[in-house]
Structure 1
Amino acid sequence: MINFSQFPAHWTLERATDVLNRQAKRDAAQEISIESIDHAANLIREQQEEIAILEKSLERVQSKKEEFCAATARLDALMKDKRDELIASAREGREPDYREIDAQLAQVRDVLAQYADEQVNVPAAIASIESTLSDARAKADAVLRAAQQFVSRHYRAEYDKAHQAYIDFLNSAEFLAKLENMHALFWLYRAFDDRYRTGLFEGEVDQVEQYLEGIKHAGGKGVLDSDRTRVVYRDHLKRLEEFGITKPDLSSDPCPSPLEVHIAKRVYDEFQQSKLDAEPVTANR
């Protein structure tokens, strides 16, 4: 058994598994290269189209499962009847009469012919489609996460560019608009950033508030128009949503910390070792 006393409180195997699963999703996203938002939008659309096709195919096959299973069961019964008739005719010294059985077999064959594209195996077809659909959904999740991280990096770069532009035009009439744009870009950067954070630190602070204080000390108003800032933020969000790029759901799927991932791996490794230790040892003879 796992000795949970060596780990911080509230650690369980279930939590470790959840942490590792969440990290695995992010690792999968790292394998996908995104070149632009348009590229991300195309990948997302392709995944959505593939999933829609698979879901429609699964729905079509599932709707016929009962009919198919009934037909295959009837086929087995008729083949048994045919065997029984052959045995009976041999005992009675007559020719076997398969007319009624063959007529019913023809009906069953007509039903099974509808499933030629499923290779006359609807349950196997359902399992295959479900497996492919599961893989497609996992790929779609990875693509979306990769797009989210690209957007986060994109807006981080945009934020940095806007910051430099503010420095360059500090004394121009445009400085308030630049600050408002910076504020919205930082919101977007943080909204799409899926990294684990221990708190704000240098390089991750929205410097707009600091600049506003400096402007006030310099004699300016140092007040942003919050409505214009929200318009910039919402315009970007709307455009991204049109591309199918939504913000990460960090409330239900928070990024695990490096410590959590480390502990989760230890918990899982000890669980696997405990399973091996619990297995009986077979003596060599």
Structure 2
Amino acid sequence: MRFVRYGEPGQERPGMLDAEGRLRDLSGVVPDLAGAVLGKLPNIDPNGLPLVDGSPRLGPPVGQIGKFICIGLNYSDHAAELGATPPDHPVVFMKATSAICGPNDTILMPRGSQKTDWEVELAIVIGKPAKYVSEADAMDHVAGFCIANDVSERSFQMELSGQWTKGKSADTFGPIGPWLVTPDEMGDLDDLDLSLEVNGERMQTGSSRYMIFPIPLIVSHLSHVMSLHPGDVIATGTPPGVGMGMTPPRFLSEGDEVVAKISGLGEQRLTVGRDG
């Protein structure tokens, strides 16, 4: 099943897509796609739900996100393009939840930005509380998956010293969606195609088969260092082709269009602007 949230920022309503991709209103069934609802998403025929007129804005497909957790250097080919040694354990950092925006919103480069970069990523959405779970049981705690773009200001991240979080957390640096797709519709999680284009030029081409740490291991590992709660989002790393890894490096400019896609999860289509 494909779940969405639609409407103006802060006023999103829950919805579903039917087999023809038409938007159906789910607000008569659940108040939002958030919290405990994610642990038991409604298993209903969307054709029985009201059709939504027009083409409303799609927001993040998950509401009330408590933690936005990111895994760094999780693709062997991405680590290679950066000249980095593949890690022995997952590299974990946080992204501010205030960075979250919808899949077709505007990426706003923050004041002083010179090196805003792109990172298409497969994101896990937690559906049930997870603490000290095994890899074998990890998927029982997953509500579904969506696209995330770990937008990064590299000068803030790499040149201001300190932790990566400061380069990852500007407003709009966390586009999520368009859809929350349940695990039963995802197929082989170890064979998903990921891509990202800037102004129609392919920048990133990758496959989840090159993940160093697979999804069950990531969920299990995180559950041993922090409690995971329904609605937590985990971005699982990016394939090669980021601007920082190019020779010479390439970064986003005002007016650019960024299109990110993952097998079975739809696409994000974002424009780039400037904040302040």
TM-score by length of 1: 0.20
TM-score by length of 2: 0.21
Q: Looking at secondary structure, tell me which structure has more strand per residue.
A: 2
Specify the structure having the higher radius of gyration (Cα): 1
Larger relative contact order (CA 8 Å, sep ≥ 6): 1
Q: Looking at secondary structure, tell me which structure has more helix per residue.
A: 1
